[in-house]
Amino acid sequence: MNLKLKIWRQKNSNDKGKIVDYAISDIEPDMSFLEMLDVLNDELINKGETPVAFDHDCREGICGSCSLFINGRAHGPDTGIATCQLHMRKFKDGDTIYIEPFRARAFPVIKDLAVDRSAFDRIQHAGGYVSVNTSGNTQDANNIPIPKENADTAFDSATCIGCGACVAACKNSSARLFVSAKVSQMALLPQGQIEAKTRVLNMTEQMDKEGFGNCSNTGACEVECPKGISLENIARQIREYAKATTATKK
């Protein structure tokens, strides 16, 4: 395939940045989207030009670092996948493809298509952990009876890879789906009850400090999430937050 690429180039967070046009040829339909960018970068390097910066790591849809905004959609024109799992067969010969970074106040551009998502890490540090008895008399987690429905729901929430597609898809750049998934995965399990009140309060407070917007209620976050994290998590976070604030006032 021969393609026209319109890629956002930005030297750093202080640079204004702009869309730059590139033509690329002989792209195989079975290539992944990131492999296509590798081909482009090889050509740029051979010409003595600066390659396009983009994040990637596992290339197996697990790490969430490959986040790109492709033709106006987080992770591109497919559902239930990260950018690294997007293949060029989703495009046609002669197509024009717009490639941009995830845009949010809390995700400043580092360079080109790479953004700083350390805001998610700080939210996790604020409360995304459980207390563990390390006295040598630790109880095996498998010995604690848990309703299967709770275990399954907690596992579904834990599949969030923190890619930020929910933020990119939301018109308010809200991180509610991410935060609620991290709250839910522990709110449903007995190991997460010790910090339950402080967890939801601290993580929500940190989310607001990072500059994420409020939930837009459009549901775009769930649609674009590569792991299909449910909006039900947001409702659970709201309930957990209400319980925690009520308990704090008492």
Domains 3-111 and 118-249 share a fold: no
Give the CB-side neighbour count of residue 180, counting CA atoms within 13 A: 24
Question: Cα angle vertex 174, ends 71, 166, to 5°?
Answer: 45
pLDDT > 70? residue 250: no
- The yes or no reply on domain 3-111 and CATH 3.40.50.150 is no
Region 207-236 average pLDDT: 95
Q: How many Å apart are CA 178 and CA 55, to the nearest integer?
A: 19
Predicted confidence band of residue 248 (pLDDT cuts 50, 70, 90): low
Q: Which CATH number fits domain 118-249: 1.10.1060.10, 1.10.3720.10, 3.30.1540.20, 3.40.50.300?
A: 1.10.1060.10
User: pLDDT digits over 8-21, tens only?
Assistant: 999 999 999 999 99
User: pLDDT digits over 140-168, tens only?
Assistant: 767 888 899 999 999 999 999 999 999 99
Q: How many Å apart are CA 193 and CA 131, to the nearest integer?
A: 9
The domain locations on the chain are 3-111, 118-249
Question: Cα angle vertex 197, ends 194, 199, to 5°?
Answer: 85
| 190 close to 132: Cβ distance less than 8 angstroms | no
Pick 170 or 133 by higher pLDDT.
170
Two structure tokens written together for 2: 């021969």
Predicted pLDDT of residue 144: 82
| 79 close to 88: Cβ distance less than 8 angstroms | no
Return the SS3 of 22: strand
User: pLDDT digits over 34-92, tens only?
Assistant: 999 999 999 999 999 999 999 999 999 999 999 999 999 999 999 999 999 999 999 99
Predicted pLDDT of residue 137: 73
Q: How many Å apart are CA 101 and CA 8, to the nearest integer?
A: 7
> pTM of the entire structure?
0.92
Predicted confidence band of residue 135 (pLDDT cuts 50, 70, 90): confident
